[in-house]
């Protein structure tokens, strides 16, 4: 049986790896469901900070968005990364 990759500490799942420009190491990990929510909400043309306010119930998606804000990408249009 092949070895499955381990989920990084502090994250629930590693289905999707989130990257910032010019960095090889992912800044966040999420499930496909959280990824789909982020992509769907980012199509409105809002910034990443505004996207955080649109997420009401998915804690994992909020955690991913907060990582981008912490890295200094909060004022970028969300569609640039997630659309």
- If we measure between CA atoms, which residue out of 69, 39, 35, 36 comes closest to residue 52? 69
Question: According to the model, what pLDDT value does residue 67 have?
Answer: 93
Q: From the CB of residue 19, how many other CB atoms can be counted at a distance below 10 Å?
A: 12
Question: According to the model, what pLDDT value does residue 8 have?
Answer: 65
**DSSP-derived 3-state class of residue 44:** coil
**In which residue are the tokens 């092949």 written?**
2
Q: Would you place residue 7 in the very low, low, confident or very high pLDDT band (cuts 50, 70, 90)?
A: low
pTM, entire model: 0.82
Angstrom distance (rounded) from CA 11 to CA 70: 17
Contact yes or no for 32/15 (Cβ under 8 A): yes
């Amino acid at each position: 049986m092949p070895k499955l990759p381990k989920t990084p500490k502090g994250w629930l799942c590693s289905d999707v790896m989130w990257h910032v420009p010019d960095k090889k190491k992912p800044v966040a990990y999420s499930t496909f469901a959280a990824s789909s929510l982020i992509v769907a909400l980012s199509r409105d043309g809002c910034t990443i900070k505004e996207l955080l306010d649109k997420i009401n119930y998915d804690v994992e998606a909020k955690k991913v968005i907060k990582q981008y804000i912490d890295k200094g990408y909060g004022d970028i249009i969300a569609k640039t990364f997630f659309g």
